[in-house]
Chains A and B, each alone.
Chain A
Amino acid sequence: MVLSHRSHDENTPTSDRAGVRDDILFRSKLHATPRSKLFADPPSAPRASGTLGAAPERELSTLERCERDHGRVGVGRDEIDHLTPVLAPGGALDRGSPWSERAAYARAHPYAIPPRRLGPFEDVAGVSGRSRALERSKTITDDGREARREARESAWRRASAVGTPRAAGSGAIVYRGYGGSTMGGAPSGLMDTDGERGYGGAATFKRFGAVNIFGHALKKYVSSVKKWDDAGSLERFKSMISSFENGTMVGRAHAEALEWERSRQRTASREPVESLSAKHSATIRDMQESLRLRRENLRQVLSSSTASALDEQLERLTVEAQEAKVKRLREKAARKFLKPLTATQLEAVKDALRAPSSKILAKASFVGQGALEATGKDIATLKKGTWLNDEVANFAIGMLSRRVMESRSEGETQPRAHFFSTFFINKLYQDSGRYEYSNVRRWTLPKRLKYDVLRCEKIYVPVHQAVHWVLAEIDVREKRISYYDSLLGESAVTVKNLKRWICDEAKNKLDEEWDPDEWEECYPKSIPLQKNGCDCGVFMIKYAEYLSSDAELAFSQKHMDYFRDRLVSDILDVGVDDDA
């Protein structure tokens, strides 16, 4: 057998036979006969020799013969014809189930009844496919429907009798497989209209779920709207349907209905009330009259108080506007002092800080101070972290006094402010240890200054307290002495002696008696403060600069390095004036 098998393999071309059918044959239990025998040529003798004159019988293929002899063996997956409908018993084709599979099955097993998929209800109802198919084949009439219903109900009764019979408290049928909470209780909307009550289950519930909800809405609506011939309500009914259909739900229609109801009520309330009795109308008239009188009174009171109130208001507003304006100006003035240095200026500053100590970098004459020179040694005290010396302080103060002098208006001799040099306090009381007016009497001779010191609005006195620079400001108009200490120090002695000087000066120069007790002492606390141990000189100069130009003290410790450079630059800008 092995040999013959081999010889067959050698004799026949195997490539053509390596198809599906070969596989089927190999797998078949009928493959007892050797292949060589199976595929051998059929005997040419006619099978039906008795039929004369008949057409000679068609030659059967190997497969056909195989099928004839042994029955259909099977079908390959890709041989299934999905397109040709095949009528099969059991009504398989006109059901919604996937029929092509079943048709294929029918073709493969012509005499078998194809297994039916259970319909939506049959799992519970237990009605067989065949009986359903028989029912379907009938013409569907009312009678038929009735019969079907009866059949189902009886099936149901059987099923519930077989299964676990349950009954809800309300007496409704509780469907098997679903708890009373899902389907029991109240009968749902449209289901009873079709006469199909009694058929629940998941599929029914799903299929009619949406309709159910809508049915509720419809029912509610029908019960709430009385007039169906009303065009408006019909419109709203339509809008309700459409709002339900496009998913906006009934909420909108509900809101619309509410709105309509409200508007109706509004128009109703606005309608004139005709049936008021005479008594009521008289009462209303009285009330209106009293209201009118009260309004009149109120108007009188208002008009009498308006004039003064308005004036007050106006005054307040004017003051506020003025204050705001002054503040703006002060801030603007302060911004001017923080203008950054240009590259060339910075270069010049660098050079000046490196200059030899004896080199005269600036030389100028200032009112009340004479000719001052700023040498390399003095400028070097403006290096970062260095203590300022008197020369630089006096030069800076001199520049301030020059600025004030230049800001005088045409033909005016009196400047707004007078600046003393740093030695004034020394001569006034510090060096000798006691107050001596005679030491400084000649410092403010009007003949030399060409103006009266005490006629200035402000007098600025740099105070050198051992190793600390402080600024004292004498406000002649306000009669106030302010002591600007960047470390918030206070010096009663200095202020006291300045008061004495003021009074002596007034007596000496103006021949007036000023009372020192009238003068107010002030130690400003909310000022820019020094955060290190070297910048107080810069603070002193900048206090003087900002205060003398009426600027907000809008600077702080972080500006000090810039101010040092700025001071060097300003001093260099004065230049060397040989005529001074």
Chain B
Amino acid sequence: MSEDEVKKEVKDETHINIKVRDMDNAEVHFKVRPTTKFQKVFDAYCQRKALEPNMVRFLVDGERIRGDQTPEDLDLDDGDVIDAMMEQVGGAN
């Protein structure tokens, strides 16, 4: 599902703007309904950024967001930021 589709979906209802910010501080804006599951947003983001979904972690205020949660569940307001973190691996210096 692309970003445009999400936008279309939320056109006629009350929707909120959320920003997904990656590690380079580049932001991608999504307009979602408060009841939309985040899985849609994640998939859209990964597709747009050409990322493996299991390589990206989405955080709100440091806490992980599950795909089956909605903005409502997390009390997200308009303009809130989601952090997209890339997988980290480490073994040696």
Which residue numbers of A lie inside 8 Å of B, CB to CB? Answer: 357-358, 368-372, 375, 377, 381, 386-391, 393, 420-424, 426-427, 431-432, 440, 442-445, 448, 464-469, 485, 487, 489, 530, 532-537
Contact at B25–A388, with CB atoms within 8 Å?
no
Contact at A536–B64, with CB atoms within 8 Å?
no
Contact at B91–A427, with CB atoms within 8 Å?
no
The segment from B5-13, B28-36, B40-48, B55-63 found at the interface with A is: B55-63
Contact at A375–B54, with CB atoms within 8 Å?
yes
Q: With A423-B59, A426-B23, A426-B85 in contact, is A388–B64 under 8 Å at CB?
A: no
Closest CB in chain B relative to A500 CB, distance in Å = 18
Closest CB in chain A relative to B27 CB, distance in Å = 12
Q: With A424-B62, A467-B92, A534-B92 in contact, is A391–B87 under 8 Å at CB?
A: yes
Nearest first, the 4 A-B pairs at minimum CB distance are: A370-B63, A387-B91, A443-B62, A533-B92
Contact at A369–B64, with CB atoms within 8 Å?
yes
Residue of A nearest to B69 (CB): A371
Listed residue (B23, B24, B59, B92) with the most chain A CB atoms within 10 angstroms of its CB: B92
List chain B residues, Cβ under 8 A from A465.
90, 93
List chain A residues, Cβ under 8 A from B25.
431-432
Q: With A426-B23, A431-B23 in contact, is A372–B90 under 8 Å at CB?
A: no
Taking a contact as CB atoms closer than 8 A, the residue among B57, B66, B91 that contacts A537 in the complex is: B91
List chain A residues, Cβ under 8 A from B62.
368-369, 420-421, 423-424, 427, 440, 442-444
* Complex: A432 Cα to B23 Cα, angstroms: 7
List chain B residues, Cβ under 8 A from A390.
57, 85, 87-89
Contact at B54–A377, with CB atoms within 8 Å?
yes
Closest CB in chain B relative to A577 CB, distance in Å = 12
List chain A residues, Cβ under 8 A from B82.
none
Taking a contact as CB atoms closer than 8 A, the residue among B60, B66, B89 that contacts A389 in the complex is: B89
Q: CB-CB contacts of B75-93 with A at 8 A, as 1s and 0s?
A: 0000000010101111111
Closest CB in chain A relative to B48 CB, distance in Å = 19
Contact at A371–B90, with CB atoms within 8 Å?
no
* Complex: A469 Cα to B54 Cα, angstroms: 21
Closest CB in chain A relative to B28 CB, distance in Å = 15
List chain B residues, Cβ under 8 A from A423.
57, 59, 62, 83, 85
Q: With A423-B83, A426-B23, A432-B25 in contact, is A368–B93 under 8 Å at CB?
A: no
Interface status of B65 (Cβ within 8 A of chain A)? yes
List chain A residues, Cβ under 8 A from B83.
423, 427
List chain A residues, Cβ under 8 A from B90.
387-388, 464-469, 536-537
Interface of B (DSSP majority class): loop
Residue of B nearest to A421 (CB): B62
| 6 CB < 8 A contacts A-B | A357-B54, A370-B65, A371-B64, A426-B85, A467-B93, A533-B91
Taking a contact as CB atoms closer than 8 A, the residue among B23, B59, B93 that contacts A468 in the complex is: B93
Residue of B nearest to A537 (CB): B90
Q: With A375-B54, A423-B83 in contact, is A445–B61 under 8 Å at CB?
A: yes
* Complex: A387 Cα to B23 Cα, angstroms: 21
Residue of A nearest to B85 (CB): A423
Residue of B nearest to A580 (CB): B66
Taking a contact as CB atoms closer than 8 A, the residue among A357, A370, A485 that contacts B64 in the complex is: A370
* Complex: A469 Cα to B93 Cα, angstroms: 8
Listed residue (A423, A448, A464, A537) with the most chain B CB atoms within 10 angstroms of its CB: A423
Residue of B nearest to A377 (CB): B54
Q: With A432-B25, A465-B93, A489-B93 in contact, is A389–B65 under 8 Å at CB?
A: no
Contact at A468–B92, with CB atoms within 8 Å?
yes
- 18 additional contacts (CB under 8 A) given A358-B54, A467-B89, A487-B93: A368-B63, A369-B64, A370-B64, A371-B66, A389-B88, A389-B89, A423-B59, A423-B62, A431-B23, A440-B62, A442-B62, A443-B61, A444-B62, A533-B91, A534-B91, A534-B92, A536-B91, A537-B91
List chain A residues, Cβ under 8 A from B91.
386-388, 467-469, 533-537
List chain A residues, Cβ under 8 A from B57.
390-391, 423
Residue of B nearest to A463 (CB): B90
Closest CB in chain A relative to B11 CB, distance in Å = 30
* Complex: A74 Cα to B61 Cα, angstroms: 137
List chain A residues, Cβ under 8 A from B60.
370
Closest CB in chain A relative to B75 CB, distance in Å = 10
List chain B residues, Cβ under 8 A from A534.
91-92
Closest CB in chain B relative to A369 CB, distance in Å = 6
* Complex: A533 Cα to B89 Cα, angstroms: 12
* Complex: A532 Cα to B92 Cα, angstroms: 8
Residue of A nearest to B74 (CB): A370
List chain B residues, Cβ under 8 A from A448.
61, 63
List chain B residues, Cβ under 8 A from A375.
54
List chain A residues, Cβ under 8 A from B65.
370
* Complex: A535 Cα to B92 Cα, angstroms: 7
* Complex: A15 Cα to B4 Cα, angstroms: 145
